[in-house]
Amino acid sequence: MRTRLTERLGIAHPVVLAPMGTVAGGRLAAAVTAAGGLGLIGGGYGDAEWLAREFAAAGNARVGCGLITWSLARAPDLLAEVLRRAPAAIMLSFGSPLPFAPAIKQSGTPFICQVQTLALAQEAVAAGADIIVAQGAEAGGHGAARATLTLVPEIADYLAGAAPQTLLLAAGGIADGRGLAAALMLGADGVLVGSRFWASEEAMVPRSFQAAAVAAHGDDTIRTTVVDVARKIDWPQPFTARVLKTAFTMQWHGREHELVEPVLTREMARYLKAAGRGDVDNTGVLVGEAVALIRDVRPAGAILRQMEQEAEALLARKAPSLLDAP
């Protein structure tokens, strides 16, 4: 399958790994790249030691890195450290890319910006983004309110007129070949996939979390601020997190204002200890509505290849059959 994305990045399949913080490490990123996609290591909140370790874990694989922009603003030297490693791409999300764009563009590194609204897409174009990710609210982890189905074609139409050389990826709820094929029909050049690779053997996720996700339905997730308040992470508006409806999350969802001292310190300790031991009920599990489409935990390469094969089959057989005369 060839698209502008595969040609621009020199990859076999139009699939990019979402740089999920603390989840998309070097091993997972390298596995996605080895299978013909592009792996991105999740820079999260900017732990330089963690990033160094995971770039080392990726070995000689051609991988990129994703960073949370508002967090990077607090430690701007981290960008130079990442660029020093000659990443295959840099992806910025959840804040203005403008302060960091000059260094990325000067390095010649492919520049990806993830956006959740048309206004943010316009800002990404102004920053010189080579690739824009239109992220819908179905996505796991942090995002905003727009749905993938309408956001992707709206931004595709905007780019066609304002920046036709800028590529577009769709993200949010894409976990199989149907999602990949649909994204291409909506005007995207490829997809950014998180939750499906979250449920892979290489992901840095407790197996109990993955088992809970495999057993869940899309209705078993919710957008909330509980996981951020409980961890004392000051996420800016309008971003919330999509997570499983665990006992912890549902206990405090809608009651975040009650998480004040000394309750907050107690509940933060409960959250973090449970996360460390894989206790689903007493912590937060960041994963998207795509749990409904995830039925097993497999190697990332096998996941990617099946997604590609399913999309090819749909586009080759299903699409033409819909045009057959009665």
Per-residue pLDDT tens for 114-152?
999 999 999 999 999 999 999 999 999 999 999 999 999
Residues 74 and 216 placed together within one structural domain of the fold: no
Residues 18 and 144 placed together within one structural domain of the fold: yes
Cα-Cα-Cα-Cα dihedral sign, residues 123, 127, 132, 136:
negative
Beta-carbon contacts of residue 123 (< 8 Å; ≥ 6 apart):
96, 97, 98, 115
Residues 211 and 199 placed together within one structural domain of the fold: no
Residues 245 and 281 placed together within one structural domain of the fold: yes
Residues 81 and 13 placed together within one structural domain of the fold: yes
Distance, C-alpha 53 to centroid of its chain: 20
Helices 48-57, 77-84: axis angle to 10 degrees equals 10
Residues 62 and 185 placed together within one structural domain of the fold: yes
Residue 275 lies in a domain: yes
Closest to 297 measured CA to CA, from 218, 222, 197, 153: 197
Residue 259 lies in a domain: yes
Residue 326 lies in a domain: no
Closest to 221 measured CA to CA, from 143, 298, 153, 303: 143
Q: The pTM is what?
A: 0.95
Question: What phi, psi does 124 have (nearest 5°)?
Answer: -65, -40
Residues 64 and 47 placed together within one structural domain of the fold: yes
**Tell me, what's the pLDDT at 326?**
55
CA dist 268 → 16, 247, 255, 275, 283 (Å): 33, 14, 15, 11, 9
CA distance 232 to 60: 36
**Tell me, what's the pLDDT at 318?**
76
Residues 28 and 125 placed together within one structural domain of the fold: yes
Residues 125 and 138 placed together within one structural domain of the fold: yes
Say which DSSP state 66 is in. Answer: E
CATH number at residue 50: 3.20.20.70
Bin 223: left if φ > 0, else alpha if -120 < ψ < 50, else beta: beta
**Hey, is 198 helix, strand or coil?**
helix
Letter string b/e over residues 42-71, b meaning 16 or more CB atoms within 10 A of that residue's CB: bbbebeeebbeebbebbeebbbbbbbbbbb
Residues 109 and 234 placed together within one structural domain of the fold: no
CA angle 189, 194, 198 (to 5 degrees): 150
Domain count of the chain? 2
pLDDT < 70: residue spans in the chain: 324-326
Burial of 236 (0-12, 13-18, 19+ CB in 10 A): exposed
Residues 115 and 225 placed together within one structural domain of the fold: no
Domain span holding position 193: 4-204+296-321
Residues 185 and 251 placed together within one structural domain of the fold: no
